[in-house]
Amino acid sequence: MERRPLIGVTAFLHRIEETFDAQICGNRTPEAVAEVAGGLPLILPGLPATASTGELLDLLDGLVLTGARPNVHPSFYGHDETEAHAPFDLGRDNLVLPLTRAMVEAGKPVFGICRGIQEMNVAFGGTLHPEVRDLPGRMNHRMPKGEKDPEVIFKKRHQVSFREGGVFHHLFGTTAAVTNSLHGQAVWEPGDRVVIEGHAEDETVEAISIEAARSFALGVQWHAEYDAMEDPVNRALFAAFGAAAREARKA
C-alpha cells in the first residue's frame, strides 16, 4: 500500500493557566488533511531549535500553515511593534517563514490559512496591516466578541470575489464564494511574488497565490478547515492541495 504524503501542520504557542507553555493545534486542520487531502498530518511545534529547515524540507511532502491567535511579529516586515500587532509567537515565525520559502522553491505544496496567508505574504517580502477594521470603509472581520458557539464563530459572513481567470477561479469554477471571517490583521502590501487572487467586499485581501510556484502555493484569509468535508469551496482547496502533495511525494 502506497504511503500517504506526509503533511506538516503548524502548531502555535499557548500558555495554559498562565503557567505552562504548550504547542497546540485545533483538530479541524489535521482532520481535513487526513480526510479530504488524503495526507498523513504531522503537527509541527514552533520550536525552530528542534528541527532545521533542511530536515523538515526533506521530510515533508506538503505544508499547511494554520490559523493562530498570535500574529507575525512586525519586525519581519520592517514595521515597529505596537499593541495592535500583539500577541506574538517568535518561535513559529522563525520556523515557518524560512520553511515556507524553502517548500515553494522545492516545488512542494504550501497552503496558508488565516495567519497562514499572512505568513506567506511576509515570507515573500510583503507587509501586514495590524487592524483592518480601523481603516476607512472596512468592515469588522473579527469574530463576535465573547462568543463561544462554534457555529456562530465560524458562520459565513461575507463574500469573496476571485480574480477572473486566476487560480481560484479555475479551481472553483466560479468568481465568488461566501466565507467565514475571524481575523484582525490582513495582507497589506503584497510580496514580490504574491498575486492577489481575491478580495472581500471592502477590498480586504482574502486569497493569494505565489507567482511561478511549481506546485500548489495558495493562501486564504478565511478558516477553510472548519467545514472542509462539507463546503464545496473548502473541500476543493484541500483536495487540490492533497493531489499536489501526492505529486510532490512521487517526484
Active site residues: 114, 223, 225
CA quadruple 58, 74, 76, 205: dihedral sign: positive
Task: Report the largest interatomic distance among the alpha carbons of the chain, rounded to a whole angstrom.
Answer: 56
CA quadruple 182, 186, 191, 195: dihedral sign: positive
What is the number of residues in the chain?
251
- Give the residue from 165, 182, 173 showing the smallest Cα distance to 220: 182
Give the DSSP letter of residue 208.
E
Residue 77 has what DSSP assignment? G
Query: What are the E-state strand segments in 192-251?
Result: 194-200, 205-210, 217-220
- Tell me if 34 sits within 8 A of 26, measured CB to CB: no
Helix/strand/coil (H, E, C) string of 125-156? CCCEECCHHHCCCCCCCCCCCCCCCHHHHCCC
For residue 60, the number of C-alpha atoms closer than 13 Å in the C-beta half-sphere is 29
Residue with cell 499557548: 14
